[in-house]
Copies of this chain bind each other. A is one copy, B any other.
Amino acid sequence: MANAPPSSAKRATSRAAASHSSLPLVSAVDQVDTSYLQTLLGYNARRAALTIIEGFLERMAEFGLRPVDFSVMSVIQHNPGVTSRQLCAALNLLPPNLVGLVQSLEARGLIHRQPHPTDGRAVGLHPTPEGAALMQKAEQAAADLEVDRSARLTAAQRKTLLELLQKIYL
């Protein structure tokens, strides 16, 4: 690692806690030091993603959309006629895991399928008026969440963070 901060775990021996004078065989940990893990991109990205998703789950429960549901609906909304395979490639999903998800969205009346205009194997996914209306509300809620989530970031910092994250996975 390039810049590991000095280890700073504060430990309290049992001698400090116990009132007698016997020397402790083992020490107890007072404050847990995670400074090493905090130097790793993977650890920080994962912790940040889970924190954000936690808030997302609560806020989107109202719409019955989990993170992947939201992503799929959003891509269909902005790309009407997209196929399952295209969705999988764009969102890094596996085809078998998308099947039930799409069936669920269709059963809820949020999307409908139409034959692909040129490929008889493929099926185009389109938002229904209900699905489009739901997504408009959901995307507004997501925008609100972004504001809350980046309360400790300036607009410039938020933009920088998005750009740097995209350098990692794109």
Binding site for B on A (CB under 8 A): 1-3, 7, 9, 11, 13-14, 17-18, 24-29, 32-53, 56, 67, 71, 74-75, 78-83, 86-87, 89-92, 114-119, 124, 126, 139, 142-143, 145-146, 149-150, 152-153, 155, 157-162, 164-169
The 7 closest A-B CB pairs, nearest first, are A14-B117, A45-B49, A44-B165, A42-B52, A51-B169, A48-B168, A32-B90
How far is B113's CA from A13's CA once the two chains are assembled, in angstroms? 17
Closest to A34 in B: B90
4 further A-B contacts with Cβ under 8 Å, apart from A41-B161, A48-B166, are A27-B80, A41-B158, A150-B168, A161-B165
Closest to A4 in B: B143
How far is B32's CA from A158's CA once the two chains are assembled, in angstroms? 25
Would you give the shortest CB distance from A14 to chain B, in whole angstroms? 3
Would you give the shortest CB distance from A73 to chain B, in whole angstroms? 11
A2 touches B38 (CB 8 A): no
Would you give the shortest CB distance from A95 to chain B, in whole angstroms? 15
Q: Tell me which residues across on chain B come within 8 A of A87, comparing CB atoms.
A: 32
How far is B168's CA from A53's CA once the two chains are assembled, in angstroms? 11
Would you give the shortest CB distance from A8 to chain B, in whole angstroms? 10
B165 touches A29 (CB 8 A): no
Q: Tell me which residues across on chain B come within 8 A of A33, comparing CB atoms.
A: 75, 78-79
B161 touches A164 (CB 8 A): yes
Q: Tell me which residues across on chain B come within 8 A of A145, comparing CB atoms.
A: 42
A139 touches B81 (CB 8 A): no
Would you give the shortest CB distance from A148 to chain B, in whole angstroms? 11
